[in-house]
Amino acid sequence: MAHNTSLVIALLHIFALSFLNILVISNGFESGEISCLRSIKESLEDPYNKFKHSWNFSNTKRGFICNFVGVTCWNPDENRIIGIELGNMRLKGQFPRTKNCWLLTHLNLSGNELTGTIPSEISDWLPFVTVLDLSSNNFSGEIPKRIWNCTYLNVLRLDNNQLTGLIPPELFLLYRIKNFSVANNRLSGPVPMFYNLTFPAESYANNPGLCGGTIGSMHGCSCEFSCSLQTRIFGRLGFLYGVGGGGYISLYSLGAFTECDNQEQQKNERRN
């Protein structure tokens, strides 16, 4: 019942935003999606003219943006974007402002030459994103903690970049996640533990500072930070947390603390 409620709420948000877009268009103003695409076009360099040649905003016919290279729409006759696929186009620049792409569920910017950080506002810009692929670029800095607010994420690909710091332990709240990779970065610290799912070591490969989980090696790894943070936020045994209105899960049943407890026990046994 709770899961159905969250789905209904999400659909109501989408319908409300769609209705607002219709009102905006009918009153002669530019819709949020068109504004978003303009921002993307302006912020990305396209040295090989892979997509910009088709992004012509002089057309005012309803649904014209659905003919843009890399753009897919909910309905081909309406300016409502569902996905942007700009992978392997050798684009340059930083992560584009997608502030007005409220209905976007798929964003693929993989295989380009993008630099800079992944913006902390990403969960505000893309509240309904299910697929986010930023792999094979040159993004640097830390993975934004607030990315866990993208609660509909099924796929999160951040591999083959220059990301540093810890993998936010809050990512274990992405309970819909099915495909995850941060391989080939410069990350450190313990790997996160996801709800009812374990990702293979290949998802974390070539990050010499990572440890724990399916990686196996605990050399130089401190699980205390990850567990203490999760404990401070959500409590320890018996505490239940509601995930997006989709039900309640016990953190202990997730095993969020089990591995750290096992490592502490082994450490104590070695001392004795």
Residue for token digits 């450190």?
188
Q: What's the Cα-to-Cα distance from 25 to each of 22, 41, 56, 63, 111, rounded to whole Å? A: 5, 21, 17, 11, 34
User: Which residues are paired to 249 by β-bridges?
Assistant: 241
Output the tens digit of pLDDT for each of the chain's 272 residues: 544 444 444 444 444 444 444 433 333 335 788 999 999 999 999 999 999 999 999 988 889 999 999 999 998 888 899 999 999 999 999 999 998 888 899 999 999 999 999 999 999 999 999 999 999 999 999 999 999 999 999 999 999 999 999 999 999 899 999 999 999 999 999 998 887 788 999 999 999 999 987 776 544 565 444 454 554 444 433 333 444 444 444 443 344 444 555 555 555 566 55
* 76 vs 74: CA distance, rounded Å: 7
Neighbours of 48 (CB within 10 A): 10
Q: Which of 111, 152, 148 is nearest to 131 (CA)?
A: 152
Structure tokens at 268: 């104590």
* 40 vs 62: CA distance, rounded Å: 20
* 130 vs 108: CA distance, rounded Å: 11
pLDDT at 32: 84
Give the start-end residues of each E strand in 95-192: 106-108, 113-115, 131-133, 140-141, 155-157, 162-166, 179-181, 186-190
Q: Which of 89, 101, 91 is nearest to 35 (CA)?
A: 101
